[in-house]
Amino acid sequence: MARPATVLIYLILAVLLLLLLRSHHSPEHRNHLHHRRLKLRPNFSFTSPPSAGDRYIPFDPLISDIEHRREDREWERSHFNIPSAPGEEAQPEWEDFIDAEDYLNDENRFNVTNRIVLLFPLIDVDPADQFVSLEELTEWNLKQAAKEVMHRTGREMEMHDKNRDGFVSFAEYEPPSWSRNDNISFGYDMGWWKEDHFNASDMDGDSLLNKIEFNDFLHPADSVNPKLIKWLCKEEIRERDKDRDGKLSFQEYFNGLFDSLRNIEEVYNHSDTSDGAQSNKLFKELDKDNDGFLTEDELIPVIGNLHPSERYYAKQQADYVLTQADADKDGRLSLNEMIEHPYVFYSSIFDDDDDDDGLDFHDEFR
């Protein structure tokens, strides 16, 4: 009798059909559900370096302002134990938090359409042609990210600037606890938190770090300070310099640096050649004086590829947003396309209760 087998086949088909239907429940459809609840980002962690998940860049400065104010209060509370001033209402943190989210989700007060209409001309600037290009969006993200980073630096600075003169001296500086605990990945091996790193960050040479210098110190890959870029190159060499002659031979370059540089096709396109030929070609390109060794100065052109900068993340996020919101696929966003896909821009504060395609997009693009 073939009956049971037939039943089984129908059963399997039914299950497959069900799975197929479920898989059509795609993000594209969900962009049009206009009733998703906007959320502020979860607590920023003061005790660990930003992880990949923290790497989203807020799109709307108004939202980051709200987040900053909330984080500042938590920061002050946890680091200075400031009792609330007399007369000032002592409000529990969570209450502020809920109020802010209620505000964001009250469509009469926070109207995403109006926000996008307001922000569009601030993004569409180069040129102002009624379209937002990938480059314009990247610049916008970069600007928001820089504000974000500087804000965190300000807080770090408050913690280290013991005599409150607005500068951090080397004596005042203590490595953050996570750099001590996590010896390898953020560690002393890299020469972080050392005096030559400090000195290289001191652009004006007064032996103190002002806020910008301190920000560079914490984020050397985003710095434009040539001394600091050189210091980064020196660290790259030190890490791989097996015979300790202060420069990289081809072998030392091949056994480490080359792998890290492999994905820089945007700069050097050797996609048509083999590994061996690629590595040889890149080495020759970098070895400007042809002495068979790479020195600090010769690594400068690729140091940005060894240390992803904010620009890298800014572009990554702009790429993602463009793939999601560019409905007519002309590679740029019109005001209408942005208004039609508001939650792509506000996805970082999505309620990701049902699943995580809002928040975790970074990882798919690593």
Ligand X SMILES: *[C@@H]1O[C@H](CO)[C@@H](O)[C@H](O)[C@H]1NC(C)=O
Q: Which stretches of the chain bind ligand X, using CB under 6 A?
A: 42-43, 74, 93-94, 107-108, 111, 113-114, 180, 183, 188-189, 195-196, 199, 207, 268-269
Cα–Cα distance between 173 and 155 in angstroms, integer? 14
C-alpha 200/C-alpha 231 separation (Å) is: 7
- Pair of tokens at residue 251: 């072998």
106 binds, among ligand X, Ca ion, none (CB under 5 to 8 A by kind): none
DSSP H or E run through 233: helix 226-240
Contact of residue 129 among ligand X, Ca ion, none (CB under 5-8 Å per partner type):
Ca ion
- Stretches 151-159, 172-180, 198-206, 288-296: which one binds Ca ion (CB under 5 A)? 198-206
Q: Which helix (H) or strand (E) holds 69?
A: helix 61-80
99 interface partner picked from Ca ion, ligand X, none, CB below 5 to 8 A per type: none
CA–CA distance, 340 with 334 (Å, rounded to integer): 10
In the bound state with Ca ion, the residue whose beta carbon lies nearer, of 131 and 320, is 131
In the complex, the smallest distance separating the C-beta of residue 136 from Ca ion, rounded to whole angstroms, is 5
Nearest approach, Cβ of residue 301 and ligand X (Å): 12
Q: How many CB atoms lie within 10 A of CB 293?
A: 18
| Most distant CA pair in the chain, distance | 92
Select from ligand X, Ca ion, none the partner in contact with residue 91, using the beta carbon and a kind-dependent cut-off of 5 to 8 Å: none
User: Is the Cβ of residue 23 or residue 269 nearer to ligand X in the bound state?
Assistant: 269
User: What does residue 133 show for φ and ψ, rounded to 5 degrees?
Assistant: -90, 170
Smallest distance, Å, CB 107 to ligand X?
A: 3
Q: What CA–CA distance (Å, rounded) separates 117 from 339? A: 8
Q: What is the DSSP letter of 350?
A: B
Cα 174 from chain centre = 25
Task: Report the candidate in 181, 180, 5, 176 with the shortest Cα–Cα distance to residue 79.
Answer: 176
Least distance to Ca ion from the beta carbon of 62, Å? 22
Residues 21-60 that bind Ca ion (CB under 5 A): none
> Is there binding between residue 204 and Ca ion (CB under 5 A)?
yes
Q: In whole angstroms, how close is the CB of 108 to ligand X at the nearest point?
A: 5
Nearer to ligand X, 168 or 314 (CB): 168
Cβ 113 to ligand X, closest distance in Å? 4
Q: What is the dihedral of CA 84, 164, 153, 54, to 10 degrees?
A: -30
Which of 76, 95, 275, 330 forms a contact with Ca ion (CB under 5 A)? 330
- Residue 198: CB minimum distance to ligand X, A: 7
Helix%, strand%, coil% for the chain, nearest 5:
55, 5, 40
Query: What are the two backbone dihedrals, phi and then psi, of residue 38, each rounded to the nearest 5 degrees?
Result: -80, 140
Q: Does the protein bind Ca ion through residue 189 (CB under 5 A)?
A: no
| Whether the Cβ atoms of residue 191 and residue 235 lie closer than 8 Å to each other | yes
Q: Which does 330 bind (CB under 5 to 8 A by kind): ligand X, Ca ion, none?
A: Ca ion
The pattern of x and - marking residues 110 through 149 that bind Ca ion according to CB under 5 A reads --------------x----x-x------------------
- What is the signed CA dihedral for 330, 336, 342, 348, rounded to 10 degrees? 40
Q: Which is nearer to ligand X, 176 or 310 (CB)?
A: 176
CB of 190 to ligand X, least distance (A): 11
* Rounded-to-integer distance, Cα 335 and Cα 337, Å: 5
Q: Which does 245 bind (CB under 5 to 8 A by kind): Ca ion, ligand X, none?
A: none
Q: Which of 228, 326, 343, 346 binds Ca ion (CB under 5 A)?
A: 326
Distance from C-alpha of 304 to C-alpha of 221, rounded to nearest angstrom: 7
Q: Under the rule (CB under 5 A), what is the footprint of Ca ion?
A: 124, 129, 131, 202, 204, 206, 208, 213, 326, 328, 330, 332
